[in-house]
Structure 1
């Protein structure tokens, strides 16, 4: 044996972090680290992302080098699907395989997600392992020293043919099968009729993403504005001021009860001005205690950063990956979950102490009590696919080595984490109903009686609050008033405004729409809406930003320089006019995402999923063939 234990990582940076965390005497030799643990020889090796990829169509037949309509659809049997090694990484793969084949125990420390499991399978399936070789999974979620050492104390048996790897494999195959057939189909038939490059990229997720933008732009174009005529009033109760709005009781209102008649508005203004005083009709108040928002998942954090910092989703994802891999300051970022496992309670003290060692963190941590855990955030049932919410690790931050964006993202994550251990925010919500003659006014009042976790999450620490129990507003006390008592009417103003159309998607709001599909994108299919509730929409946390980026790069989308809103280009509109609704609707893709989840939990087989996808692709190609004239054979550049 070349070693007693081999540790397989996903990337070189992970290999280095793990080796140095496990032993101060770890030595780098070529593409591995050598160390000793409790007298056992250990070698740490790594992949370089995906070392293998699905083969190009010409690997199945030379004739597929040439794009021809009569060759479509290209659908190999599932058992014949081929993967090939990246030529640049062939020698590295040989080196890794040799190390693994000589080990008595193999510890898989790739990312604990679908792609990480597939990367491990790609390598291990090429190894000639002895029957005595033991496989274990390292449940690693962060790359700081404490998290790494803890993970290696909680090894679990590992199966090469596990469902997460199968799910990743079938996702890749579905993307490959749909992409190569429909990209060739539409490029051959319509390539000369579209602006720019004649290659028309059809993607399982990217095309429905463009359709979401199309639907929003259609809603904006179809929007017919109308004027709203409101009356606003200011009332005085001692030194307190109440702002109220007139409640229109005529029939000239829209579906939200807003007045559509300027004549009615002016009549009310004149009548109320003449009366000059108001009377109390009722006062209803409710005290609300709210806990902090849950910690971030990837897409929620991307949306927050795009809005508050002003950056792209891809920039956020790259910076988070750096905070995770290079700096070891946060847990695994490509997560769909906003909850924490109950086991993470034991590291709360260490993590808070690490944040406290930073100047900003020290000021914010005064509002925190680790004895006051918000139990809502600890929920093992809601931790998605082994990955919990994004939180800081127990490693102290050195801001001097971080980029400006990395610093800002770490702050968002740290504030969100600390807020889980702060007192609730206590607000008093009041509805005061007043009458001026026969006209009714409603005053909706909200006052913060205890700042709680908001002292941590507010944008800039300003030292206003000395305690999480500090009050922000003076309490609205109307206890001395009875119904019918007179209240001073201080001011009346006409407030006229035109209704606004839906807002064009920003990158952040588009990511949210991909995750939580708008009802209109499902063509009013109530069964589909019910079936897809909570399934996660189209794409995954790890892929959505890249999909939007590719749509921009391929000139299907453009980002408005003034507003940063996303718009379809002429090329994008042409593509959506050409493709069948079955291709561009998010419905099919979302249902496939649901099927992939079923593979992961064992409710659907790989063969059944492949049969479903292959049948769908075959039907689309045949349907198109029946409506078009075949083109002559043409040469088209290969899609990368």
Structure 2
């Protein structure tokens, strides 16, 4: 008999679905069949059941953070059962130890993390039985059955286990040592009492966000001027924009723009050039996780984590293929399922028309079907299990809709546009006019109206070269340069995926391109969520804003490998080789130990040159510019500090004025903080939860030792709250 170990409960149910089975408490029993002649026990983990033992558990001397105990380099890395998952581990272990079980099938998600989760449990249980591996790209019944009929020997996929182990051990070494080192050193340099977490992927990601913010803060808006010519060629009227010989339309000296206006207004105009060409726009490629996250963020404002969670839910319902993929391609085997899928999906109202009017077969199109570009996983596509849409939540339906329409769109011809460029000469000056008309809608007919904003036709009159007319009037339009925008989560995911473009080392640049940049497709959402949890970033109107804490850390790591994508590039190159069985995991971890030692020493040596106050000066100016009011203690601005409202001058004068954003179960709004700062008293806030629920005002008075107090409704007694 075989024991199958799945990664999660939902996954286990789907793996059992193609076979006759019965739930038996903490496991599922599969009846004897062609695939399992003696039957099988199917049990499951609950994600990771083990975690690495922390430094203070390895040695009590590490409990207190001290520079002289760094770096912490354990001889061996130890694991312990996650406390909350002890019962689940015992349930899995019981199945593995069952004397009826002669062989184990590892059935984690098809990737290095799924390999680690299941194999770690098998190893920690002490079981010594043969192990096979099932690799199911989809949890649809046919795909699951086919996967079980084509098991791998565990030795074929075990390099992925060593890759995952090497990554986690090396990240533990760098993250734990550098977090302690930078926390202690920043505190010594006047950076407050916060704990500063650093890591191989999260820190260069944070540096990207902070560097963008620095660009915004240092940006000086400048006025610019554009000259617009209004042309009349008999009954043909159009406009053109002046451009320099360098194809620049913006002029930064008003007098030059005014001079061009004077030299062209009312003057004869001649058509210097007419260029007409047809351009084709192919349908977009299939989704990989990062492009799905970017698209969902742009259209629905979903966070990267929200999109991943929804896609994972659809996968566990057998509706889409494995979502944690970095591939945009499928093989011919997956493409063969499309005709049946299209027949089924056109029964659903939203897809009836577009699925009934497909224009071509994608089987021979290498833009979509290319087995050579499919590695561990293929692109995210729908399975043949087409659901009733009412069975999905509103947000699941949105993600499913994106994936379905992306596949349908691939079955359409490219959209075709007619582009026209007219260059008009007036005296010595050239004006450029561009037009665009759609000839064939092609795949764009699958888009919603809200996604077709860029399809508006710009019609131009028919003109011939050397045709003459009149520049009836020129005018100068004034504008202002604008700073770069802060990242949205979707844009940050894209930038992480494309990190390394500025790396000069061409080999490293190629590695980052091959490994898809910073982090993995599956981990980028988690990195962003971790930066939020660590109070390094906050969001405002779907844009990411770095906090003061982020500026301080990035100032400290500036110029080190922790601030760039270089370390990730080198590591991912070697990790990939470990996963392919071409490199040794132990050698990689030994190098990570040496690197940790060097990074700690470099941080200590460089800390004397850090100027934390200077690094946050521009930030202070930014925070004061969005001040909620005047600090009642020192007069500086009070600003939003993610989890609380606090004085922006804390780093300068140590002012400790703060108000928590949540008091006794009630959220304190910006409106009430502004009123408190301006008048000393908020509006009546209802629903505070003490021994019993009550309503009260928050007040500030110097007589109460400079603290915020409750003023109870219909009562005079007061209670200090900070």
User: What TM bracket, shorter-length normalisation?
Assistant: 0.7 to 0.9
Q: Which residue of 2 aligns with 1:578?
A: 556
Summarize the Cα distance change of 1:396–1:532 in structure 2 as closer, same or farther, 3 Å threshold: closer
The equivalent position to 1:70 in structure 2, one of 68, 75, 79, is 68
Task: Classify 1:194/1:301 alpha carbon distance in 2 versus 1 (closer, same or farther; 3 Å).
Answer: farther
Q: Is residue 2:608 matched to residue 1:613?
A: no
Residue 661 of structure 2 is matched in structure 1 by: none
SS of the equivalent of 1:202 reads: coil
Quote how far apart the aligned CAs of 1:377 are. 0.8
Q: Paired residue for 2:115?
A: 117
Q: Using a 3 Å threshold, how does the CA distance of structure 1 residues 140 and 459 change in structure 2: closer, same or farther?
A: farther
Select the residue among 206, 217, 222 that pairs with 2:218: 222
Give the Cα separation in 1 of the matches to 2:11 and 2:325: 18
1:428 aligns with 2:425: no
> Shift in Å at residue 116 of structure 1?
0.5
Q: Where do 1:113-262 residues align within 5 Å?
A: 113-126=111-124, 133=130, 135-159=131-155, 162-191=158-187, 198-235=194-231, 242-249=238-245, 256=248, 258-262=250-254
Equivalent position of 2:312 in the other structure? 321
Structure 1 pair 347–194 and aligned structure 2 pair: CA distance change class (3 A): farther
Which residue is equivalent to 2:264? 272
The 2-side partners of 1:152 and 1:236 are apart by 73
Kindly state the Cα deviation for residue 129 of structure 1 after the two structures are TM-superposed.
5.7
> Aligned partners of 1:273 and 1:628: how far apart in 2?
62
Q: Distance in 1 between matches of 2:328 and 2:235?
A: 44
| Deviation for aligned residue 1:257 | 6.0
Q: For this pair of structures, how many residues does the alignment match? A: 600
Asked if structure 2 preserves the Cα contact closer than 8 Å seen for 1:348 and 1:370, the reply is no
Matches within 5 A, 1:19-34: 19-20=16-17, 22-23=18-19, 25-34=20-29
Q: Is the 8 A contact 1:447 1:476 kept in 2?
A: no
Q: Is the 8 A contact 1:358 1:397 kept in 2?
A: no
How big is the shift at 1:118? 0.9
Residue pairs, 1:14-93, within 5 angstroms = 14-20=11-17, 22-23=18-19, 25-36=20-31, 37-38=33-34, 40-77=38-75, 80-93=76-89
| Structure 1: 5+ residue stretches without partners | 463-470, 630-640
Greater RCO structure (CA 8 Å; 6+ sep):
1
Q: Which secondary structure state, in structure 2, belongs to the residue aligned with residue 274 of structure 1? A: coil
Gaps of 5+ in 2: 609-722
| Equivalent residue, structure 2, for 1:468 | none
Q: Which residue of 2 aligns with 1:558?
A: 538
CA displacement at 1:614 relative to structure 2: 0.9
Kept after mapping to 1: 8 A contact 2:115/2:160? yes
Match of 1:595 in 2: 574
Measure the CA separation in 2 of the matches of 1:306 and 1:33.
38
Pick closer, same or farther for the CA change 1:184–1:130 going to 2, 3 Å: closer
Partner of 1:604: 583
Corresponding residue for 1:510? 492
Report which stretch shifted further, 52-61 or 440-449. 52-61
The answer to whether residue 296 in structure 2 is matched with residue 305 in structure 1 is: yes
- Displacement of 1:149 in angstroms is 3.1
Give the superposition deviation at 1:599. Answer: 1.7
Partner of 2:343: 353
- Whole-angstrom distance in 2 between the partners of 1:610 and 1:61: 20
**How far is 1:26 from its partner?**
1.9
Task: Answer yes or no: is the 8 Å Cα contact 1:97–1:126 preserved in 2.
Answer: no
Bigger shift: residues 176-185 or 431-440: 431-440
1:6–1:45 CA contact under 8 A, matched in 2: yes
| Structure 2 Cα separation of the partners of residues 343 and 104 of structure 1 | 33
Query: Which residue, 378, 383, 389 being the options, matches 2:374?
Result: 383
CA distance in 1, matches of 2:56, 2:261: 77
| 1:125 partner SS | helix
Please tell me whether the aligned partners of residues 194 and 575 of structure 1 are also in contact (alpha carbons under 8 angstroms). Answer: no
Q: Residue 7 of structure 1 aligns with which residue? A: 4
Q: In the TM superposition, what is the alpha-carbon distance from 1:491 to its structure 2 partner?
A: 6.0
Alignment check: 8 A CA contact 2:362 2:369 kept: no
Look up the SS of the partner of 1:296 in the other structure.
coil
Shift of 1:40: 3.6
Once the two structures are superposed, what CA deviation does each residue of 1:8-61 show, in whole Å capped at 9, x if it has no partner? 2110000011212x13x4211112111222354122211111111211224433
In 2, are the aligned partners of 1:451 and 1:472 still within 8 Å (CA)?
no
Work out whether residues 274 and 420 of structure 2, in 8 Å CA contact, stay in contact via their aligned partners in 1.
yes
Shift in CA distance, 55/246, structure 1 to aligned 2, threshold 3 Å: same
Give the Å deviation of 1:282. 2.1
* Deviating more after overlay: 316-325 vs 282-291: 282-291
Partner residue, 1:567: 545
Alignment RMSD, CA only?
A: 3.0
The alpha-carbon distance between structure 1 residues 534 and 491, as it changes in their structure 2 partners (threshold 3 A), is farther
Task: Provide the C-alpha distance between the structure 2 equivalents of 1:110 and 1:528, rounded to a whole number of angstroms.
Answer: 31
Distance 1:328 1:236 in 2: 62
Q: In 2, distance between residues paired with 1:492 and 1:452? A: 39
Tell me whether 221-230 or 161-170 shows the greater mean CA deviation: 221-230
Distance 1:237 1:42 in 2: 83
C-alpha separation in 2, matches of 1:591 and 1:438: 54
User: Which of 464, 467, 479 is the matching residue for 1:485?
Assistant: 467
Please give the secondary structure, in 2, of the residue aligned with 1:376.
Answer: coil
- How far is 1:347 from its partner? 0.7
Contact (CA 8 Å) 2:435, 2:457: kept in 1 or not?
A: no
Paired residues for 1:89-100 under 5 Å = 89-100=85-96
CA contact (8 A) 2:138 2:383 kept: yes
